[in-house]
Amino acid sequence: MFTQSNLSIKINISSLFKSSFETYYTSIIMPNKHRIHSINLSDPFIMDLFSSPTEHISKCSQLQALILNEIESKCLENLLSNLACLPKFSSLAIALTNDLNVNNISSLICQLPVFKYCKLSAIKIETFKSLPKSNGNVSSSIEHLVINGDYDHIDLDDVLSYVLQLCRLSIDCLTDSDEIETIEYCSNLNNLTYLSLKIRSIQYNAF
């Protein structure tokens, strides 16, 4: 009855023994990959399995939302590369680790074609830090961006230049940069309707 249903499936896996998950994966997930609507993963082994060459996440053709906790850099890069081919994937929330390859991950996030919601959480957010300002040839479809963690205000305009469709922006802790510099924000966010910034140690003339 379960396998014949057309209902969408939400997968929420925090922690399972490897043997238990393999049984669950074989009997429940594999036969129903085409019906999975959202996935919440915390276990490194499970994340590795979903990003493997043979069982990668692009087989979940109806996937719309993905939540990842403490994922390693290479695994995240593989997942993001495979997510780009999913026609309905629109929401990503990541609890970041400190060893991420910032250049590759920032670029892969911006290339997701129908991406609408992005939430990044860490003590200090380095993702997007090394992105150059967009020349207009690369633009993300993100409409709602949430940054939970310290984020240097000096990097903000470079990020905004990629998300010109942004409607909602929330930053938990916008901080002063080590570089003493006044930033001129040039990105035109004509669709922005909601802005929430918690500011720490920033002079108002820095904006």
Q: What is the pTM of this model?
A: 0.83
Orientation angle between helical segments 102-110 and 73-83, nearest 10 degrees: 20
User: What is the per-residue pLDDT for 184?
Assistant: 62
**How far is 130 from 158, CA to CA, in rounded Å?**
9
User: What is the per-residue pLDDT for 47?
Assistant: 78
pLDDT tens, the chain, 207 aa long: 445 566 778 887 766 666 777 788 888 888 888 899 998 887 777 777 777 766 678 888 999 999 988 777 788 888 888 898 899 999 999 887 766 666 678 888 888 989 999 998 876 766 565 667 777 677 889 999 998 888 887 778 888 888 989 999 998 888 776 655 555 666 788 999 999 988 876 665 555
Q: Which of 140, 194, 148 is nearest to 174 (CA)?
A: 148
Q: In sequence order, what DSSP letters do the residues of 30-71 get, joined into one string?
A: GGGGGGEEEEEE--HHHHHHHTSTTT-GGG-TT--EEEEES-
User: What is the per-residue pLDDT for 1?
Assistant: 41
User: What is the per-residue pLDDT for 168?
Assistant: 96
Element (H or E) spanning 76, and its range? Answer: helix 73-83
